[in-house]
Homo-oligomer: A and B are copies of this chain.
């Protein structure tokens, strides 16, 4: 097994906290990697927005490029490490340039892969170079390597997990400290866990990008971000957290991808999971992913889903893999053989549901609601009715809160289209204040 003895020359674009950590790690491990690989890994070029910004890492002897695309095309590098971010703009341009120039690419860019993964994989395969992206999903957790390599003998049935630390932090705060959504979000922003514009995280899009990548790897389908159903946590209230808790559940933003009758159901949404389940117990910014394979059974990975050093750990793993030599294709099977992502209709989803309604305290309301459920063959496993607390009020319902009772229903397994129709009619019947809250209960 011969390894090329020449150095692997690396160009790094993006020298924020992750890029600086990657550079520092490569410098620190230079001799060790040389001993392990029989060749050196040398950073020969870097590119970032500010050349003068103070960094805790030396750039001595490394060529500076103002333009990442120029670095990507430079004959002075063999592999391009993209840590710029964003699905378009310089990140995309630079990665495409590097691949077209026959350079290996390592990236942490989930958006780029979610939108352009298929075309980039084709480019990489055409040039016979590596395209690796361990850091793009779940930070320091080696979930990509696990699905690509460790479980390659498995048919994956389902993969699911907590893929966004910001949302899990907010939900944990609401759970453990009784914080409101707004207060928990503000705290996450203060601690740097959430962006000034947090829409991308709390709306579920960040997790959806990651799930799109995982889905493709797990099921051998083309990356298809547009086929991922995406709901965020912005409508979760303390009342939901509390009601779920009383019933033995936690609310988590979960990405779930599973095979359903030859199609794929892939969705990001808040769900109820049992308190004592593996993902139910994961708190704060930690990520967790469970993979179910026909040979391995259930495999759970838990670790830091973000942060400079954990992310750098994954980038380094990819760089060393490039330096080793032969890599598997970006999405395991050749891009031309990836199957179309055949989306399962979410309306056909079977499962149990949590429903919370603020019911006008008038005679016949309960009978009307129960009737609508029965009409749609939705049977109920549990019903909890009580006078709502102040914390229960979602904005549209606030005014009405004083004359309402909170009704929490857990259904038996039913079809999503049925429960949705029943709830729509219940809303139209005028027996409830505001909208019905419906959350899937995940079978783990």
Contact = CB atoms under 8 A, between A and B. Distances in A.
B295 A313 contact: yes
Given A32-B333, A297-B303, A333-B32, A149 B145 contact: yes
A281 interface: yes
A313 B151 contact: yes
B301 A300 contact: yes
A130 B304 CA distance: 31
A208 interface: no
A323 to B, nearest CB: 9
B327 A1 contact: yes
Interface of A: 1-3, 21, 25, 29, 32-33, 35-37, 128-130, 134, 140-142, 145-146, 149-154, 276, 278, 281, 293-304, 307, 309-310, 312-314, 316-317, 320-321, 324-329, 332-334, 337
Given A3-B326, A153-B312, A297-B140, A302 B302 contact: yes
Q: Which 7 A-B pairs have the closest CB atoms?
A: A153-B316, A142-B150, A325-B326, A295-B313, A299-B303, A140-B296, A300-B302
A141 B299 contact: yes
Contacts of A314: 150
Given A294-B309, A296-B309, A324-B326, 14 more contacts: A1-B129, A1-B130, A1-B327, A134-B150, A140-B299, A149-B317, A149-B321, A150-B317, A152-B317, A154-B313, A295-B309, A296-B310, A297-B309, A299-B302
A213 to B, nearest CB: 17
Contact of A36 (B129, B301, B302, B329): B329
A49 to B, nearest CB: 24
A294 B21 CA distance: 12
A134 B304 CA distance: 24
B151 A317 contact: yes
A128 B21 CA distance: 33
16 contacts: A1-B325, A1-B326, A1-B327, A35-B337, A36-B329, A142-B146, A145-B149, A152-B317, A276-B281, A293-B313, A295-B313, A296-B310, A298-B304, A299-B303, A324-B326, A325-B326
